[in-house]
Structure 1
């Protein structure tokens, strides 16, 4: 009898393993249909492009997050908020079911998402709105203003983002800077360019830190510390990761906050890509290829370079001395990512924004989409600690010649190569890490093709007929601080202005090096590429 039981038990286990194997093989076959060969993974991950062909039209998604019911929610730049659904139960989401639209409430730019219980909170250009689905039909049927103590701005870059709830049940959010807005947004509480802590009932707000620029992602570490990513520019020397220290200033728009003390330094300067967007800590219970507790970061990449972008992860550890060590590793190269989140199955989801105009608004009927990164230990892929980077070798004579040409062509007059005084153009420190040789050449020859936000030129005609051309570095209700060619900053009172014009062209001359001999052009490019 015992022998028969052992045989039956063995047979049952064999059939069970066979069933599991067949199920796994079927799942792998499903995955293979949607794997994107153009995306590159740096580890045992399958990168799947979700076939969202039903429901809401995907149009420049700017937000993706886990939400009520374990669903993945996303937001179009147009204002639609929707759930990603798996209509045929094959493990791959293929439908976008409309949950609500902030446009129905007269709101714009849904750049922040957080949820508490069954209620979803959306940060927009105007306020934070709350939505809930009371009858559980997948669509919000009740909504209200949760927080509105921020005066509305019509500037498309000014919105509330990075929303996340803390263990204290308070909502934390970032209000994008107003330093690039020539209209000078009303801001009596100094909220713009700051991180806020909003009470659970939405009736009170505390300004925790100032000097932020474009914080699109914030996330709490398992130990309770809040981390946030910010973009390079105007006081921010790098693409940076910061740890929130209440009361500190983080480097951007110092004049507005009238601060003279030292700036809180970032805990990490990102090296993988430019323009960090969404960030999220992986759960300590989700292995995902040995990354439990690590921070994952989505990168949009530089402006209209449509093939740039990716995902990195950051491992944060504390030494015996108490010092915090951070290490950055690549996860994937995927273009134009606006956000990421982990799903209930432990997979990583990412939103790709797609093609848009200068203000990130839709210019195509359907653009962007979603990726799902599935950890697969069966993949015969060796996890790489860093991407393979072409090692350039430049002769000392070429570098010396290039450095001389950098001065002769007057590049140094507008671009710094080290930390220090802010100049008319963006800093070139670390340029070789951020841009390829081809991209550097293209930027020199056609500088107006892609202009970094806040770097556009401004032409001001005064009432006395004088014309000023430069870049606005600060603005308030009374005046502009205009940096002229030559890096001189002048104050221009609004009452003295007859005509104010934003320039559609770069302040840099086109084809600056087109008349240089080819050998000289190559030496200059060698020097610029060597700026690591």
Structure 2
């Protein structure tokens, strides 16, 4: 009699367990992204940021590129030379494997920052050539490759890239050869190819120069009207982070001495980007992909300043074409540090490559750093995230600004830095510096000038054969001479035949301890003046 209730209870328990188990097996997974969402990222608009858990295949080391390639596969590349595709190996909707497509290291090639494809053929821009790859047996790995284009003036400087590859509406491959203006050991360039946009015939045998005066472009894209937009970095004659529209045969302002006599005017940017600094990759969203009401918009990846590892982000630009030309409106999308590139995936989501921590030359300094994020549109977030950054309006008294301006002169800041956005002195022009750095960051930049140095501000020490040593920054170089700007903003031209050796120094030309002795009120006045610029 005592056992009957026990058996009844057990039977009910088993029935309940079976029912729950059956229900759980039949219930669909409602949120495949929950386990991978990065809730620390600041997002503007109805998007979720998903960190891809790439834990299989190729080790991710400072990714420099991500693009949609043949077969609607996402292709990416490490700074260390591996080209791979991103795969969802377990079918949960999140890519978790990097499958090797090709390795540049056995080929002796470096810096695969450019990528495009035509049909099944993949083209990768490297420092010395554009290489073509083909997966003939369709096993996911390239089984043949050849040199597509190698007429590139090459030196050992790590910042000389072949970037921003695109197949144009005419079937030619467009690319950028970054400037050689800051390289004291630049290779001979009699045709002026470096610092320009080229287009290369489909068979790789012919090339044309379509624009000059280019500084450092990593992002270039055609819109659906066939117009080519490209983002260039501030500095060296570029007063802002530029968005440009290609006008064939025109000069865009950088390294004017190199192109003296070849242009009659400078083409200004059509828009100045403001989401962050140092634009990298750009991509147009398809007009058929809403992605939260952004069809046809241009998306821009920003690396952020130098070695500030928490800076970077994504911006989007709404570009409207009217009878008078294009108009532009910019919005932030997300604050994610150190982004190098971005691409829309086959599902309409936005993928971004996070370069991660590196040395000054963008090479790996840790075992594993960098990775990939996926931005997913979530209609339930409409109206819930901010659409713009909250900006604190700062007002300063006239007395504070005047005192700061005087200190700027007394402390010799004005001897090395112009503030008009145009003049090129030995230090960077400080126009707009308050948009680029916070007060705390400005104090660090002034107190520790050698901590982070802009590439174009690297000091070069030139030892001449007569024993004389000159220290300055390179403002122009060609096959016969180097022009150095010395402290005091004096330029000196040095024939290469007179040079015993030249060495780049990762030490700022700016004096240390410029803030020593300032009272807090004086420091505040100086910072207020800089921010007001």
Question: TM-score if structure 2 supplies the norm length?
Answer: 0.93
After TM superposition, the structure 1 stretch with the greater mean CA deviation from structure 2, 432-441 or 414-423, is 414-423
Q: Could you tell me how far apart the structure 2 residues matched to 1:100 and 1:496 are?
A: 44
Runs of 5+ consecutive residues of structure 2 not aligned to the other structure: 1-22
Q: Tell me, what secondary structure is at the counterpart of 2:352?
A: strand
- Structure 1 segment 292-307 matched on structure 2, within 5 A: 292-307=295-310
Q: Give secondary structure in 2 for the equivalent of 1:520.
A: helix
- Give 1:459 shift: 2.3
Bigger Rg over Cα: 2
Q: Secondary structure at the match of 2:457?
A: coil
After superposition, residues 372-383 of structure 1 pair within 5 angstroms as 372-379=374-381, 381-382=383-384
Residue number in structure 1 paired with 2:52 = 50
CA deviation vs aligned residue, 1:92-123 (integer Å, no higher than 9, x gap): 00010001112221111001000111111000
Relative to structure 1, is the Cα distance of residues 162 and 482 closer, same or farther in structure 2, using a 3 angstrom cutoff? Answer: same
Greater mean deviation of Cα atoms: 255-264 or 216-225:
255-264
- Cα-to-partner distance string for 1:143-200 (whole Å, 9 max, x where unaligned): 1111111133221111211001112111110111111111122223221111011111
Secondary structure of 2:346's partner? coil
CA contact (8 A) 2:65 2:114 kept: yes
Counterparts in 2 of 1:172-211, with a 5 A limit? Answer: 172-211=174-213
> What's the secondary structure of 2:456's corresponding residue?
coil
Separation in 2, partners of 1:152, 1:429 = 34
How far the C-alpha of 1:392 sits from its partner, in A, is: 2.2
- Measure the CA separation in 1 of the matches of 2:71 and 2:91: 16
**Cα distance in 2 between the residues matched to 1:467 and 1:167:** 51
- Distance in 2, Cα, partners of 1:109 & 1:497: 29
Matched, 1:59 2:68: no
Which of 283, 305, 315 aligns to 1:312? It is 315
Instruction: Name 1:13's counterpart in structure 2.
Output: none
The partner residue of 2:431 within 429, 432, 457 is 429
Q: Report deviation, 1:390.
A: 2.4
Partner of 2:10: none
3-state SS in 2 of match to 1:143: strand
- Deviation sequence 1:59-78 (CA, Å, 0-9, x none): 00000001111111100001
Shift of 1:280: 0.4
Q: Distance in 2 between matches of 1:233 and 1:254?
A: 13
Q: 2: distance between equivalents of 1:227 and 1:242?
A: 6
Size of the aligned set, in residue pairs, is 509
Which has the higher mean CA deviation after the structures are superposed, 379-388 or 354-363?
Answer: 379-388
Rounded to whole Å, the distance in 1 between the matches of 2:224 and 2:120 is 23
How far the C-alpha of 1:385 sits from its partner, in A, is 4.1
* Per-residue Cα deviation, 1:499-529 (whole angstroms, up to 9, x for no partner): 4332231111112012111211111011111
**Pick aligned residue for 2:279 from 255, 276, 287:** 276
Alignment correspondent of 2:493: 491
Distance 1:497 1:136 in 2: 53
What residue number does 1:217 align with?
219
Partner of 2:13: none
2: distance between equivalents of 1:346 and 1:174? Answer: 27
Q: Does residue 502 of structure 1 match 2:504?
A: yes
What is the correspondence of 1:72-83 to structure 2 with a 5 Å cutoff?
72-83=74-85
With over 3 angstroms needed to count, the CA separation of the structure-2 counterparts of 1:500 and 1:144, relative to structure 1, is: closer
Which residue does the alignment assign to 2:449? 447
Query: What is the aligned counterpart of 2:107 among 105, 108, 112?
Result: 105
Q: Are the equivalent residues in 1 in contact too, given 2:184–2:502 (CA < 8 A)? A: no
Aligned match of 1:264: 267
Q: Tell me, what secondary structure is at the counterpart of 2:340? A: strand
Tell me how far apart the structure 2 counterparts of residues 159 and 318 of structure 1 sit (CA, whole Å). Answer: 32
**What corresponds to 1:481 in structure 2?**
483
Matched residue, 2:17: none
In 2, distance between residues paired with 1:22 and 1:347? 25
Partner SS state of residue 378, structure 1: helix
Measure, in 1, the Cα distance between the counterparts of 2:398 and 2:166: 50
Return the alpha-carbon distance in structure 2 between the equivalents of residues 99 and 153 of structure 1: 27
1:251 aligns to what?
253
What is the CA–CA distance in structure 2 between the aligned matches of 1:206 and 1:383, rounded to whole Å?
Answer: 46
CA distance 1:443–1:109, shift in 2 (3 Å): same
Distance 2:182 2:470 in 1: 18
Tell me whether 51-60 or 412-421 shows the greater mean CA deviation: 412-421
Residue 135, structure 1, aligned to residue 118, structure 2: no
Q: TM-score, normalised by structure 1?
A: 0.93
How far does residue 43 in structure 1 lie from its aligned partner after superposition? 0.5
Aligned to 1:149: 151
